[in-house]
Amino acid sequence: MKMYLTNMVSYLSYLKKFCKSTPLPEKVSHKSEFHVILSLDLCRKHGGAGRERKTGAIEEGSSAMAMIEDYRSALRAGQRAYRACVARGQSPYLAVLDDILNGVNIVAQEPLGLVDIPAESIVGTKTSGRHTAFAANFMPLLEEDTEFAVKWSNLCEAHLEEGIHTPIIAYEYLNKFYVQEGNKRVSVLKYYEAVTIPGTVTRLVPARNDTLENKIYYEFLDFYKLSKINNVRFSRLGGYAKLQTLVCKAASEVWSDDDRLNFSALYTMFSQQFYALGGSALGLTPGDALLVYLSVYRYSDACQSTPSQVRENLAKLWDEIKILTEPHAVELSLEPKPGSEPLLNKLNIFSKPSQLKVVFLHEYNAKNSAWVRGHEKGIEALKKAFPDRLVITNRENVSPEVDAEQIMEEVAHDNADVVFTTSIRMRPACLKVAAQHPKTRFLNCCLNAPHPLVRTYYPRTYEANYLLGMLAGILNLTDRVGYVAANPVYGVPAAVNAFARGLRTVRPNSHILLRWACLQEPGKPLDFSDCPDIELFYACSPFEPTGSAREYGLCRRMPDGSIQPVALPVWKWEVFYIGIIRSIFEGTWDSGSSGKAINYWWGFRSDAERLDYYETLPKGTQQLLDLLEKNLAANEFPIFPAGIFAQGHIPKAPTADTYTPKELMEMDWLGECVEGSLPRYDQLDVRTLGLLEINGLSSLKETTL
């Protein structure tokens, strides 16, 4: 009985073939279907179902002729697989583990006991004996008049009569399984499309190395200790830790038997829908797609969904999933494009709306947050730019975790045309609601989001920081300047390094002392009062929840300890809002964006940022900064030329003569004149941990999750 309870999924296809006389209810969740299948199979095991199969479903299918016909069918499948492998220049036979392990350092052998092995993960044999009797898909290759064919057919008959009960013996290496005993059993069960096959397994653990496959495997080992789930694969790092979170488990929480049962049922059904929609052509695993799916639809809801519901929802997210396969999936819009509109839009006046309902959602409020006040100025400018053409709704104090999703659902149901969300923490809610309301355009104020459903907008902060670094070098009396960074998200390392580049332009021997405002225990004061040689510092605070005096931009610490602003970067949100809304009115919103994740990343050239100075600067200094700002806007000199070095004097060469915008956006290293480092995952405060999940640097997440 225990083996049946742990091997339920194996019989799904089997029952579909031989139990058509017992149809399942049409409207039932996949979880309920799973238990119905279990009940039917247990009934067969203990209630004489073999006799019914003989006389009903397969009508004396145990006859020799019927078994030979099954063998012929399996042989044809093997021959097709053989020819396909030869055409691709691959070995047409089963992989041999002994050959694969030649030269591999195995550091541990772990007996796993009796395991339900995913049939698709059984890829070869332990030794080379008889491996040429099978094609790479485990279907037979020997002719039907051989002793091998007779044994295969007899095993097929035994399976149909009473099932195959003897577990195979196999080795697991890199989460793939190689059979030592039971190759024909695997062949027969794969022929009948078994999902899992019971086997006694020994795990072979290789030494750690720097290959992607090895790193993913070690992440799997940690996940397996908690879940005992072995059928989920990912093609990139961080997948197993993210799955643990998405199924509502704490980082070190062990799964129960019910947890495994529910997830296995969901994953089996999800994989079927993934492949039914053409997932095999994407070069992704069902696990990769499942992470996208569960980022939008709650795990508890997914577990109660029917196959048709999952397929419908998955189809809505197909562009989100396909984008995982594209190396240039994120399209950076570096400035507004006022050029000619598409011809079809000129001919079709109905593609141009005459009025738009626009909604703005803020996490904080204008009274207490300079961030929100900046966006409010942009909204006022937007109203003036399109008088009588916009119906604007402004919502403050929207909690990303509590009510953001509900509010977005409400405004989408109210036929909002555009929804701007000014907090990066609202991006997950945007993605969930955008999948359900494709007619509403959703935008989130952040950088480098690979989601076609949700566009993003953000200023090129590194440009302004370069000029602030130059100004710090001009005004400072020592060779050390402080820098407080907000969070380790995309764009921040480039901003820090640009500030350092500007500083060293005028003070070649200077250094930056970097501190972070996102640590659980800062340890050191963020005004650098413990450093007598640091008078000027860059303070970065993304919001002001308490309404205290703003410490943001280049600051000077006075002898009495007070902080005075020197210069402030100003993000001109009206440029974004007016430019984006204008593209909708002109019918160019969708121009050239099919299947792409659009990120608006505008800077000086677009007039999307400027510097405000609070100290009276010498006329020559002011003229120099103004000139450099114009040069940056005209792309007349690079902030990051070739030949620069990261900490440790490690050369950082761009792919071309200068760094591309994508390389700048994804920069995850610090220049050699920066004292300090990127924070560790365990140092971050709770709020920043949430940000890291949404928009944190990939390299930081991969080394800490």
Residue 384 CA: distances (Å) to CA of 41, 272, 378, 389, 446: 70, 52, 10, 10, 25
HEC profile for 345-414?
HHHCHHHCCCCEEEEEECCCCCCCCHHHHHHHHHHHHHHHHCCCCEEEEEECCCCCCCCHHHHHHHHHHC
Coil, helix or strand for 501?
A: helix
- One-letter amino acid identity for 362? H
Residue 42 has pLDDT above 90, yes or no: no
Residues 213-265: tens digit of each pLDDT: 999 999 999 999 999 999 999 999 989 999 998 998 888 899 999 999 999 99
Q: List the domains of the chain with CATH numbers.
A: 461-570+605-685 (3.40.50.2300)
The stretch 304-329 carries a mean pLDDT of 88
**Radius of gyration for the chain, computed over Cα atoms and rounded to the nearest angstrom:** 31
28 against 390, higher pLDDT: 390
Q: Closest by alpha carbon to 668, among 497, 415, 462?
A: 497
Residue 37 has pLDDT above 70, yes or no: no
* Distance from C-alpha of 474 to C-alpha of 483, rounded to nearest angstrom: 16
pLDDT at 50 (0 to 100): 38
pLDDT at 494 (0 to 100): 96
Question: 């299947």: which residue's tokens?
Answer: 595
pLDDT at 406 (0 to 100): 96
Report how far Cα 378 is from the mean position of its chain's Cα atoms: 31
* Distance from C-alpha of 330 to C-alpha of 455, rounded to nearest angstrom: 10
Question: What mean pLDDT is reported for the chain?
Answer: 85
φ, ψ of residue 197 in degrees (nearest 5): -135, 125
474 against 641, higher pLDDT: 474
DSSP secondary structure of 607-645: T-EEEEE-S---HHHHHHHHHHHHHHHTT-S-SSBSSEE
The 8-class DSSP code of residue 56 comes to I
Residue 339 has pLDDT above 60, yes or no: no
Coil, helix or strand for 606?
A: helix
Residues 397-441: tens digit of each pLDDT: 999 989 999 999 999 999 999 999 999 999 999 999 999 999 999
Residues 104-147: tens digit of each pLDDT: 999 999 999 999 999 999 999 999 888 899 999 999 999 988 99
Confidence of residue 701 (pLDDT cuts 50, 70, 90): low
